[in-house]
Copies of this chain bind each other. A is one copy, B any other.
Amino acid sequence: MRRPDELRSAIEAYLDGLQLSPDLGGLEEAVRYALAGGGKRVRPVLCLATTEAAGGDPEQALPAAAALELVHSFSLVHDDLPALDDDLERRGRPTAHAHFGEAQAILAGDALLTEAFRLAVARPEVAGELAAATLGMIAGQYLDINGGGRDRAELNRLKTGRLFEASVGCGLWAAGVPAEEQEPWRDFAADYGALYQVVDDLLDDDGLVLELGRERTAELAGQTTDRARARLLEIPVDTAVLLQLVDELAARAR
């Protein structure tokens, strides 16, 4: 079993070596800039770890894992735009539109999304899972800018949860796990996505923290961690690396 940091290196190397469409020309720079952003590659690592836990070869899941990261990058580039969240900085660097201008940022986001599908098309289940999750994520962003904060749980489930479920789902498809055996894994994915959101709110001091206060949100993080761990322990295979991912995520909030 590869450790989380080994899986992270594998996806970084794959993304570094990824051939983008030669048509892109000068637009490639903005696409690479957005993709390089220094993220922790949480979704592709989750995908690769799922594939290996489910008995597959994580090398086979690299295109799907990369596609998930490209979709995630696309969503950041478009969400940061002036008409949406209007963010000028992300992870200590100017956002894509702050660096390349709005027109290039829109087109670079479009290219990231399309490149994701170019990577995913070889496996119809992976591509279908990715498309459905991306539509959920876009709908979540729509709710967010239209005051969907009224139902935070639904908003989070769409905006962040769907792509986490797809990360596990794509990992399962890559390992050849049939649909009827996927349910316990997907239950775990829902809890992992929920934990990600709670931890994110704790780190940013917003969302749930504003609603429930820090203490109750921290309690919720603990409960969600326990539930995610319990889900994994119900799956009768070696899920040690996935357990480690849960613990790493929970530790970020401390």
Chain A positions near chain B (C-beta within 8 angstroms): 21, 23-27, 74, 78, 81, 83-84, 101-104, 106-107, 109-111, 113-115, 117-118, 120-124, 127-128, 130-132, 134-136, 138-139, 141-143, 145-146, 158, 162
Contacts and interface: CB of A to CB of B under 8 A. Distances in A.
Contacts of A117: 117, 127, 130-131
A113 B111 CA distance: 11
A100 to B, nearest CB: 11
A71 to B, nearest CB: 9
Contacts of A118: 128, 131-132, 135
A24 B131 contact: no
B138 A128 contact: no
A138 B109 CA distance: 10
A151 to B, nearest CB: 11
A172 B224 CA distance: 50
Contacts of A139: 21, 23-25, 27, 111
Nearest to A122: B124
> Interface majority SS on A: helix, strand, loop or mixed?
helix
Given A110-B113, A121-B127, A131-B118, A142 B25 contact: yes
Given A84-B103, A103-B145, A138 B122 contact: no
B84 A136 contact: no
A102 B131 contact: no
Contacts of A134: 110, 114
A195 B141 CA distance: 40
Nearest to A121: B127
Nearest to A109: B110
A107 B27 contact: no
Given A23-B136, A24-B138, 11 more contacts: A21-B136, A23-B158, A23-B162, A25-B142, A78-B107, A83-B103, A84-B106, A103-B145, A107-B145, A111-B135, A114-B134
30 contacts: A21-B139, A23-B136, A23-B158, A24-B138, A25-B143, A27-B142, A78-B106, A78-B107, A103-B145, A106-B106, A107-B138, A107-B141, A107-B145, A109-B110, A111-B135, A111-B138, A113-B114, A114-B131, A114-B135, A114-B138, A115-B131, A117-B117, A117-B131, A118-B131, A118-B135, A120-B121, A123-B124, A124-B124, A124-B127, A127-B127
Contacts of A103: 83-84, 145
